[in-house]
Amino acid sequence: MRPGLDRIKRALAPILPKFQNTKIVIIAGTNGKGETTLRLSNLLKDHSHFTWTSPHIERITERFRSEKGEIDVDHLQALIDRCHETVLREKYELSFYEFLFYVFCTWAAENPPEYLLLEVGLGGRLDAVNVFDADLVLLPSISRDHQEILGRRYDQILEEKLGTLRPKSTLMSFVHLKYLRDRSRKIASRIGAAMIDMETLVNVPAYEFSLRNYLLATAAFCYLTNRVFRVEDWHQMPAPLEHRGEIFRDANEWMFFGSHNVDGMRKLIQFLQSGNYNFSKPPFDSVIVAFSDRNSADLKAMLKMLQASGLGKIVLTIFPHPKAAKKEVIAGLGTLEGLEFVEDIKSYVQGWNQKRVLVTGSYYFMGHLQSFLRGR
């Protein structure tokens, strides 16, 4: 990973002018970007739009969506081949992420849409999506993640996220902490951007993260389509999205909730322990968790939260992926009291029947286990 815009600007220079009549929406923030982006995409189903999300969980086509759904595999293959030839010929030096974003923009430029929805991959100021001038920036949350790149303080992280703002763009924020909201207002004013503070419009607890993401998406939809946003019109949550609160049923019931950092794990536990989910006994037979590669302090903090949550038996595992936490690190954490470490999770769950299971941690792990469950 190499943060910076020079490489992608050079590659996209011939393409960017094609989007001069397209409204650009950038979705930044720490947690909730993906769900907010996909909720907004679903709401815009009757409008031409292209949607970029990252990372993909099970299949690479997830990153490439329009109002018609995910891109056709053969079409994507042809685009990748054509873009790769151009990259070699023009000697563009793109990272894997930047190359896929270049492919996405090439696809969208074939039929420039009314809206372009762009989820930030990491940070904001130096992320590839920031080559576009945003008309609307959505900010669902701010918490600590990727601190080695974005900084360790909330205000530093906020500055990176709001690097996506431009003069005359609008920031729509659902950040919970007041001092960050005040700071966001100052940053927006300094840049010459407007700000809509969702916290002043909607009273929703911070742990109701999925509802907050949905309401932010509906407010954005109303803003983009010149509707009046009234929270009472949007109180009914639609069905869960794939990998985000999705329930998968076979002989068992599997609830998939990716929570890949400390704040996300805290809010998930608060949500499951909230008034709608009160329980006198553990609600899950097992809680299966696996992590992406991150610092051991965060891993220990998340495991201790799960241990104290009372949600069910904690099963810690590993999975094959370039960004997965190392086996030796996880095996060491598996010795913590109250945890069971399982190396081969597929064999471990084989033959389970009528169990209720929460699967959490890395989104890459969500895809790994879901692919196995769907394929068996």
The pLDDT of residue 57 is above 90: no
Band the pLDDT of 29: cuts 50, 70, 90: confident
Instruction: Output the average pLDDT for the chain.
Output: 90
Whether residue 205 is found in the same domain as residue 310:
no
Residues 144 and 179 grouped into a single domain: yes
Q: Is the pLDDT of residue 147 over 90?
A: no
316 and 340 Cβ atoms separated by less than 8 Å: yes
Q: Which residues contact 29 (CB under 8 A, 6 or more apart)?
A: 36, 120, 138, 139, 140, 141, 142, 161, 175
Instruction: Please write the tens of the pLDDT for every residue from 275-327.
Output: 555 567 788 999 999 999 988 888 999 999 999 888 999 999 999 998 899 98
Q: What is the pTM of this model?
A: 0.85
Examine the domain organization and report whether 280 and 193 are in the same domain. no
210 and 268 in a single domain? The answer is: no
| Letter string b/e over residues 74-91, b meaning 16 or more CB atoms within 10 A of that residue's CB | eebeebbeebeeebeeee
Work out the average pLDDT over 338-343: 89
Q: In the chain, how many domains are there?
A: 2
Are 211 and 258 members of one domain? Answer: no
Domain boundary among 209, 234, 259: 234
In a domain, 239, yes or no: no
Residue 310 located in a structural domain? yes
Q: 148 and 116, same structural domain? A: yes
Instruction: Tell me what the mean pLDDT of segment 131-152 comes to.
Output: 76
Long-range contacts of 124-128 (CB under 8 A, 24+ apart): 124/26, 124/28, 124/160, 124/161, 124/162, 124/163, 124/164, 125/159, 125/160, 125/161, 125/163, 125/164, 126/3, 126/4, 126/5, 126/160, 126/163, 127/3, 127/164, 128/5, 128/8, 128/97, 128/98, 128/101
Res 274: pLDDT: 76
Structure confidence at residue 336 (pLDDT):
76
Residue 21 has pLDDT above 80, yes or no: yes
Q: Determine the Cα–Cα distance for residues 263 and 116; give it in Å rounded to an integer.
A: 29
Q: Give the range of the structural domain holding residue 55, as residue numbers without chain letter.
A: 6-234
* Residue 1 located in a structural domain: no
Residue 40 has pLDDT above 90, yes or no: yes
Residues 296 and 318 both lie in one domain: yes
Tell me the C-alpha distance between 204 and 174, whole Å: 10
Tens digits of per-residue pLDDT, 319-336? 999 889 998 888 888 777
The verdict on residue 73 lying in a domain is yes
Residue 16, in any domain of the structure:
yes
Question: What is the reported pLDDT for 375?
Answer: 83
pLDDT at residue 71 greater than cutoff 90? yes
Whether residue 288 contacts residue 330, with contact meaning beta carbons closer than 8 Å, is answered with no
| 64 pLDDT higher than 90 | yes
Task: Specify whether 25 is located in the same domain as 152.
Answer: yes
Q: Tens digits of per-residue pLDDT, 196-226? A: 999 999 998 888 888 999 999 999 999 999 9
- The CATH number of the domain where 97 resides is what? 3.40.1190.10
Highest mean pLDDT among 101-115, 225-239, 297-311: 101-115
Do 220 and 280 have their domain in common?
A: no
